[in-house]
Structure 1
Amino acid sequence: MTKVIYFSILALLNIGLGLTIPVAMANNMQQADSQSVRFERKVLERKANGSVVVQDFYESGNKKTDPFTIKNTTQLNKPSGLYNLMANSIDGHLLSWYENGQKEYDITFTDGKPDGQWLGWYSNGKPQIEAEYSQGKLTALKSWYINGQLKQQADLKAGKGTITTYSTTGKKILEESFKEGVLDGITTQWDEQGNQLAEKNYKNGLLDGLSRTWYSNGQQKLMQTLVNNKVDGVVKRWYENGQLKSQAIFKKGIAEGQWSSWYDNGNRKTLGLMSNNQRQGQWSYWYDNDQKQAEGKLVAGKATGIWQFWYKTGIKKAEGNMINGVKQGSWTEWSITGKEVQSGSYLNDQRQGLWIEKSSDGQVIRKIDFEQAKKG
């Protein structure tokens, strides 16, 4: 019996996700016509060997594909992963069409793996991608923007080599090294003016080794080392003017040790310790004019113990006790001129008991009993 199933065209574009390099092709093939379009799949024939011949149609009735064969039918009736071509093990030729009748792509699978020449077009008929596969591995790739400008070019042998990406104006903006079908080696990125923006090292598809980025003016922006995709060692960041922005230490992707940051004028902003990705121990904060702003202890990222705060002028603003990030116990506050203006106690960030307010000359001007206020 013929079975009709509906799904989104966006799922179709994840061609070859079982291989890393074909993702580049999948990304190219969805640039110009990525709007969501619903269509249906009809089962035309069930063969004795268990494979199924299907054909896809737009809701308008226009064909989306010519008939093609699926070897693995275990997911045929499941919405999740229904149109994952690799999971379905497409076998043989697959020809797809835009709703306006233009060819979308012309591709071939052998035992579920990309094989031979793969071609793709934009909906206006202009070429979008041309690739060559051998036993599931990408060996050559060319893709174009809709204006005809070369977008990507690859020269690979058994999945090893480089893929170069160009801007719409023809400038080289990305060069990636691959091995066995995954990123391996140096990846370099530039802007259209030729300024280097990034250099990263990959190993077996994961970031591994020194990784750096730059501003377009040539000033270094970030320097860090990664091991198996996890930050490990000292991480430094800079402002565009060259001033150091922050410095931290990571171990296997987790922040550990001293953490420092600065303003773009060179004055210190923060200084403290990190443990297991959380602020721990004594932490200090400054204003951009080098005056201290706050200081106290943190436990698992939450303020605990006596904390002090200052105005930007250097005059003390407040002092009191914190527990688990909330005000608890005695607190005193001062005016911008340094005069004590009020004092009292907190319970779970709420004022409690007797609070005293003073005038600028130190005279008591008001007493508020929050316990009495609650009662009556």
Structure 2
Amino acid sequence: MKSFFCFVLLLMLSFVSCKESSVIEPIVEKTIVINNFEVQKKDLVLNQIEGKWYYKNEPFNGFSVKHHPNGILSEKMGYLNGKREGVAKRWEPDGTLRIQSYYKQNRLVGSYKVWWQNGELAEESTYVDGALEGTQKMWYPNGILAKERQLSNGKEKGLQKAWLQNGKLYVNYEAKNGRIFGMRRANSCYQLEDEVVIRN
């Protein structure tokens, strides 16, 4: 009996192992390494027709840099085969990071962040193939949320909200198919009913 049970178990395991797997494999992008060669941005020449940056008549591979008059780095941007690639950063004259973004073949991709001079986050967005996508948030210099937008392919889609510095909601509408439903600069004494304004 014990041997029969083992045989059945072995048979079942062999059938299970032959079944095709339906697990979706994630696509892993190849890591791109940019040459650590730096030149002044003013030494690069943009060919606007090709959308490529050239250094000494060759598509540039490396990093362009700019400096503030006080010598502090103001900008550093990567290039691969003449196109902006990888991380791009900008700094204030005091060295405070101002903007951090990412490029892939001249198009903004991924996280885009902006900071106020006091170090507080000012904006956080996401780009997909050069267009804003998903939730975009903006803050006042004191860290209070100022705006929250929903975007799809660079256009407003969904709920859009904005607040005054005291935290009071003053913009609240929904963008749908290029139309706006709701109130811009809304006071709480108004409401929408079937897209018609009703005064309380």
Please state which band the TM-score falls in when normalised by the shorter chain.
Answer: 0.5 to 0.7
Give the Cα separation in 2 of the matches to 1:277 and 1:292. Answer: 24
Matched, 1:233 2:105: no
Give 1:211's aligned amino acid. A
Give the Cα separation in 1 of the matches to 2:40 and 2:138. Answer: 36
Matched, 1:207 2:70: no
Higher RCO (CA-CA < 8 Å; seq separation 6+) = 2
Moved over 6 A (4+): none
Residues 201, 210 of structure 1: 8 Å contact kept:
yes
Give the Cα separation in 2 of the matches to 1:223 and 1:254. Answer: 16
Displacement of 1:183 in angstroms is 2.4
Give 1:195's aligned amino acid. I
Distance 1:164 1:280, change over 3 A: closer
Q: Which residue number corresponds to residue 16 of structure 2?
A: none
Displacement of 1:290 in angstroms is 1.4
SS at match of 2:157: strand
Residues 40, 64 of structure 2: 8 Å contact kept:
no
Q: How many residues align?
A: 155
Instruction: Report matched runs for 1:64-143 at 5 Å.
Output: none
CA deviation vs aligned residue, 1:19-41 (integer Å, no higher than 9, x gap): xxxxxxxxxxxxxxxxxxxxxxx
Q: Which residue number corresponds to residue 283 of structure 1?
A: 160
Q: Which residue number corresponds to residue 331 of structure 1?
A: 198
Matched, 1:302 2:174: no
Matched, 1:319 2:196: no
Gaps of 5+ in 1: 1-160, 166-173, 323-327, 333-339, 341-376
Give 2:148's aligned amino acid. L
Q: Which residue number corresponds to residue 120 of structure 2?
A: 243
Distance 1:219 1:198, change over 3 A: same
Give 1:250's aligned amino acid. Y
CA deviation vs aligned residue, 1:99-146 (integer Å, no higher than 9, x gap): xxxxxxxxxxxxxxxxxxxxxxxxxxxxxxxxxxxxxxxxxxxxxxxx
CA deviation vs aligned residue, 1:157-207 (integer Å, no higher than 9, x gap): xxxx86558xxxxxxxx6769476232211111012111100000112111
Give the Cα separation in 2 of the matches to 1:268 and 1:164. Answer: 37
TM-score w.r.t. length of structure 2? 0.68
Displacement of 1:277 in angstroms is 0.6
CA deviation vs aligned residue, 1:30-64 (integer Å, no higher than 9, x gap): xxxxxxxxxxxxxxxxxxxxxxxxxxxxxxxxxxx
* Selected match of 2:72 from 177, 187, 195: 195
Displacement of 1:302 in angstroms is 3.1
CA deviation vs aligned residue, 1:238-288 (integer Å, no higher than 9, x gap): 111211111111111011111111111211011131101111111221001
Give 2:68's aligned amino acid. D
Residues 175, 189 of structure 1: 8 Å contact kept:
no
Displacement of 1:321 in angstroms is 5.5
Gaps of 5+ in 2: 1-36, 45-53
Q: Which residue number corresponds to residue 4 of structure 2?
A: none
Distance 1:309 1:319, change over 3 A: farther
Give the Cα separation in 2 of the matches to 1:330 and 1:163. Answer: 58
Report the structure, 1 or 2, having the larger helix content. 2
Distance 1:164 1:199, change over 3 A: closer
Give 2:144's aligned amino acid. N
Displacement of 1:235 in angstroms is 0.4
Distance 1:258 1:179, change over 3 A: farther
Distance 1:199 1:256, change over 3 A: same
RMSD: 2.6
The range that moved more, 199-208 or 293-302, is 293-302
Q: Identity across aligned pairs (percent)?
A: 19
Give the Cα separation in 2 of the matches to 1:266 and 1:162. Answer: 35
SS at match of 2:171: strand
